[in-house]
Amino acid sequence: MAKDLDKKLAVGQGLDRYASAVGLIGALLSTLGFILAFVLAAPVNGASVDGVEMIGGQMVSNQLLFSQKIFYFHMPAAVTSMVALAFTAWFGIRFLTTRDARYDLRAKLATEIALLFIIMTMFSGEMWERFEWGVWWTWEPRLTTYFILMLLVFAYFILRTAVDEPERRATYASVFGIITFIDVPICFMITRLIPSSVHPVVFRTDSGLSPDMLVPLLLSMFGMFCIAFALYRLRLRTETMAQEVDAIKREIDE
């Protein structure tokens, strides 16, 4: 049993063998998604104009919104951050049930990755907001719940640095990681719970996205999942090595 667990949590083999390749695939997919977002996806319609024009064989009677191109990376980054936080919660639960410190390390690194993608989401969202809504910030339901999520992730790291004793730190962080994850479904569902929200509901039976829009979006999303996985494994390898360094230092001191 213990051997199985050791094998599962081993670093430097298995999953790590594929991490670089997955990272490369992620870079390729997201680059392809980026290119197709500009080349393949048609611009969405904005406000109506005072007439109709024929563009590319189609009757156009609305403004074409170029700013919507931000969406093709903005939403995948947000979804990736939420998936990473699901792993934080999962590893937190695993730590609380097994008391194995390796799960705590994994939870910390998953949260690190979540923070990176939260920052990316915030950056891109800010640019959209400034241009389309004319403000840098508004307390719109999706924005507010995502902002709370970002604060919870900051608080997670503050909590980790505030507690010195490793076992206690891991326990508190695991519980806090699970609590942080509770905001993820709230944030995801808020556009359904409060339909007045200006954020669209993208994931539904009929997403309203035509294939030319869906393809770049999905490519970017799977690309980001791959990048997140590769970065997570890279950080895990480094942190495991750092623990080895500490162990050797202790051995030399003795």
Partner 1 sequence: MNPILEQIYATIIPSAPYVIAAYALMWAALCVFVVFALSRLKRTEAQLAVLESTLASRQDDLTDQIRKQ
Q: How far is the CB of 2 from partner 1 (least distance, A)?
A: 25
According to the binding rule CB under 8 A, does residue 119 interact with partner 1?
A: yes
Task: List the interface residues with partner 1, window 164-193 (CB under 8 A).
Answer: none
CA distances from 208 to 93, 205, 213 (A): 37, 9, 10
Kindly state whether residue 24 participates in binding partner 1, applying the rule CB under 8 A. Answer: no
Span 52-111, contacts to partner 1 by CB under 8 A = 52-53, 55, 60, 62-67, 69-70, 73-74, 77
160/164 Cα distance (integer angstroms):
8
Q: Which amino acid is at 116?
A: L
Of 18, 131, 137, 203, the one binding partner 1 by CB under 8 A: 131
Q: Is 128 in the site for partner 1 (CB under 8 A)?
A: yes
Contacts of 226 (CB under 8 A, 6+ apart): 22, 23, 25, 26, 29
β-bridge mates for residue 59, sequence order: 54
Q: What one-letter code names the amino acid at 137?
A: W
> Could you tell me if 164 and 73 are in contact, meaning their C-beta atoms sit under 8 angstroms apart?
no
CA angle 203, 45, 218 (to 5 degrees): 35
- Residues that contact partner 1, how many (by CB under 8 A): 44
206 binds partner 1 (CB under 8 A): no
The residues binding partner 1 (CB under 8 A) are: 34, 46, 49-53, 55, 60, 62-67, 69-70, 73-74, 77, 116, 119-120, 123-124, 126-128, 130-131, 227, 231, 234-235, 237-238, 241-242, 244-245, 248-249, 251-252
